[in-house]
């Protein structure tokens, strides 16, 4: 009768520890033929398979252990980890929970449970899991960081900052400074964001992504020369980095260097790179290449506002059929409503908003299309200020009415619009005499809009201060001037909704009054 020797187990463990995973796998399988119930053999086999990314076989190995010993908490954890790597978050959650039931103080199980919940957008449950991990191990800096990441997604920027700072207090690490920078940036504090990014770079000077976000933040501060230097440095460090290439491309795009931007978009292969590359081709009048690449893009995407803008303009410009069914008749979907609370003299919402816009600690963002005005940075509707929170709720109710109004329309813009929506961005715009925004769209939105808080009343021309919407704009190349337009003259409390693919601009005004609005993009939560 063969006897299992501890030396055999030690040899296997050494093979695994020396990264000889294939050999460890082979020897473990051989020994299991003689000793099928030895847990350590199944375990070494499982971790060796996992290290080779043979996840299905690793899961089977862990399951074999649990058949022999179901109350083995660490194996429940290991199985959960493998299932998560296989894309089975629900299965992972179940096994992490089993591990915790068996061993309530298994800290890493709570941490990984939080990661799994977070991947499913179950943010409250993720917060609970991370907090439990921290309760059991207060010095678990990764858990503090992950807690901050969830707060960041939820728009709880103050809490996110606290968590990231606590993580950094325990362990000074590059990712912590990077995350802290992102929290500051979302709060609209660009200078603090840049300082944090620089600290991250001190820890890892060759991090292309950090160089890129520094450049992007400087760009939004209006530091064009410095932004260009940092963005190009990022690409120099890692020529293949998608974020570095994309951020440089958008910078060049904004500065009208379209051919250069086109090349960097192609390298990035990130987010909406195809549409933005098409934009560059269209602006440089490379129509033959544009038409070919447009056909390819249409076949791959059916829910892109920028692609809709380009397709519609091209069709109307060259008197062709618009083949893209996201929103081929965009002006039909322009909707004029109102926030009743802003028109009610007994309600203090309007005054609260105007006061918070004036007094709140919100950084400005440089906006090249804005003349004689300022635009806020960050996402207003993710701030804690009661006025912004209430306004976001009011607009959310209106957007539901908007959907009900158009829900039977035959376009992907409506058909693909889910019930759960989120504000992907929101900002205020304050203009003075001569203020206006030139024609543009909101590439990263779905439905865009503006709610008006102050409108000039003294006019030399009746159109002053109005908003013009059109299927043409942004100096797109024109073969003719026959493009549809709509003009709205909003009053305080009015809201104008429109597909993000629609061109819109502000008509300059001559009075010395202020024009103040809060603009926003709404986006389906699953996009």
**How far apart are the C-alpha atoms of 142 and 114, rounded to whole Å?**
11
Closest CA to 392 of 402, 403, 407, 379: 379
3-state secondary structure 232-300: HHHHHHCCCCHHHHHHHHHHHHHCCCHHHHHHHHHHHCCCCHHHHHHHHHHHCCCHHHHHHHHHHHHHH
| Angle of the 273-283 helix axis to the 305-317 helix axis, nearest 10 | 30
Residue 186 Cα to chain centre, angstroms: 11
Per-residue pLDDT at 526 exceeds 50? no
State residue 415's pLDDT score.
87
State residue 280's pLDDT score.
97
State residue 28's pLDDT score.
74
Per-residue pLDDT at 195 exceeds 90? yes
State residue 176's pLDDT score.
96
Closest CA to 469 of 448, 444, 492: 448
β-bridge pairing 447-454 and 515-524:
antiparallel
Q: What value does the mean pLDDT take over residues 109-119?
A: 96
**How far apart are the C-alpha atoms of 267 and 354, rounded to whole Å?**
44
Q: How confident is the model at residue 61 (pLDDT cuts 50, 70, 90)?
A: confident
Q: Over the stretch 429-459, which tens digit does the pLDDT of each residue have? A: 999 999 999 999 998 888 999 999 999 999 9
Q: What value does the mean pLDDT take over residues 309-335?
A: 93
pTM, two decimals, is 0.78
* Domains of the chain, start order: 206-301 (1.25.40.10), 331-524 (2.60.120.620)
Mean pLDDT value across the chain: 91
Q: Over the stretch 480-523, which tens digit does the pLDDT of each residue have? A: 999 999 999 999 999 999 999 999 999 999 999 999 999 999 87
| Coil, helix or strand at residue 107 | helix
CB atoms within 10 A of CB 461: 11
Q: Between these two residues, 37 and 319, which has the higher pLDDT value? A: 319
Structure tokens belonging to residue 27:
């020897």
**How far apart are the C-alpha atoms of 37 and 113, rounded to whole Å?**
29
Structure tokens belonging to residue 192:
């603090």
Q: What value does the mean pLDDT take over residues 55-70?
A: 88
**How far apart are the C-alpha atoms of 276 and 405, rounded to whole Å?**
31
Per-residue pLDDT at 110 exceeds 50? yes
Q: How confident is the model at residue 1 (pLDDT cuts 50, 70, 90)?
A: low
Write the DSSP symbol of residue 138. T
Q: Over the stretch 7-23, which tens digit does the pLDDT of each residue have? A: 767 777 787 788 887 88
% of the chain residues with pLDDT over 70: 98
Q: Over the stretch 207-257, which tens digit does the pLDDT of each residue have? A: 999 999 999 999 988 899 999 999 999 999 999 999 999 999 999 998 999
State residue 368's pLDDT score.
78
């Amino acid at each position: 009768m063969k006897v299992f020797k501890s030396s055999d187990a030690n040899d296997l463990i050494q093979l695994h520890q020396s990264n000889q995973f294939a050999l460890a796998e082979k020897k473990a399988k051989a020994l299991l033929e003689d000793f099928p119930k030895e847990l350590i053999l199944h375990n070494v086999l499982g971790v060796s398979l996992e290290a080779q990314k043979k996840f299905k076989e690793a899961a089977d190995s862990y399951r074999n252990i649990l058949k022999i010993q179901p109350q083995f908490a660490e194996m429940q954890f290991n199985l959960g980890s493998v299932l998560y790597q296989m894309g089975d978050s629900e299965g992972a959650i179940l096994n992490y929970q089993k591990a915790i039931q068996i061993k309530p103080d298994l800290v890493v199980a709570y941490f990984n449970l939080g990661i799994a919940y977070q991947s499913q957008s179950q943010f409250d449950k993720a917060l609970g899991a991370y907090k439990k991990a921290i309760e059991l191990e207060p010095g678990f800096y990764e858990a503090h960081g992950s807690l901050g990441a969830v707060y960041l997604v939820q728009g709880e920027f103050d809490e996110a900052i606290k968590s990231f700072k606590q993580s950094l207090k325990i362990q000074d690490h590059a990712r912590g400074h990077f995350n802290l920078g992102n929290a500051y940036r979302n709060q609209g504090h660009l200078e603090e964001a840049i300082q944090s990014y620089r600290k991250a770079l001190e820890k890892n000077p060759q991090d292309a992504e950090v160089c890129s976000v520094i450049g992007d933040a400087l760009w939004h501060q209006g530091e064009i020369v410095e932004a260009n230097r940092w963005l190009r440095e990022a690409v120099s460090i890692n020529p293949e980095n998608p974020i570095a290439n994309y951020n440089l491309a958008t910078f060049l795009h904004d500065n009208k260097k379209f051919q250069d931007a086109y090349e960097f978009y192609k390298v990035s292969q990130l987010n909406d790179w195809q549409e933005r590359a098409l934009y560059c081709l269209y602006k440089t009048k490379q129509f033959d290449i544009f038409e070919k690449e447009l056909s390819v893009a249409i076949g791959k995407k059916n829910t892109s506002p920028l692609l809709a803008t380009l397709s519609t303009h091209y069709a109307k410009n060259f008197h062709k059929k618009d083949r893209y069914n996201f929103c081929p008749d965009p002006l039909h979907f322009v909707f004029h409503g109102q926030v009743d609370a802003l028109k009610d003299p007994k309600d203090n919402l309007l005054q609260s908003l105007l006061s918070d816009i004036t007094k709140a600690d919100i950084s400005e963002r440089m906006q090249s299309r804005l003349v004689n005005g300022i635009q806020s940075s960050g996402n207003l509707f993710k701030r804690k200020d009661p006025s912004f929170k209430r306004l976001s709720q009011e607009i959310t109710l209106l957007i539901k009415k908007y959907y009900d109004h158009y829900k039977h329309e035959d376009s992907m813009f409506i058909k693909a619009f889910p019930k759960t929506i989120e504000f992907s961005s929101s900002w205020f715009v304050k203009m003075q005499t001569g203020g206006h925004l030139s024609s543009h769209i909101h590439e990263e939105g779905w439905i865009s809009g503006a709610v008006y808080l102050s409108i000039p009343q003294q006019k030399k021309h009746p159109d002053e201060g109005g908003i013009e919407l059109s299927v043409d704009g942004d100096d797109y190349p024109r073969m003719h001037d026959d493009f549809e337009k709509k003009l709205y003259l909003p009053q305080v409390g009015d809201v104008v909704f429109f597909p993000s693919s629609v061109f819109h601009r502000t008509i300059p005004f001559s009075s010395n009054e202020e024009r103040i609005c809060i603009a926003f993009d709404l986006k389906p939560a699953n996009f």
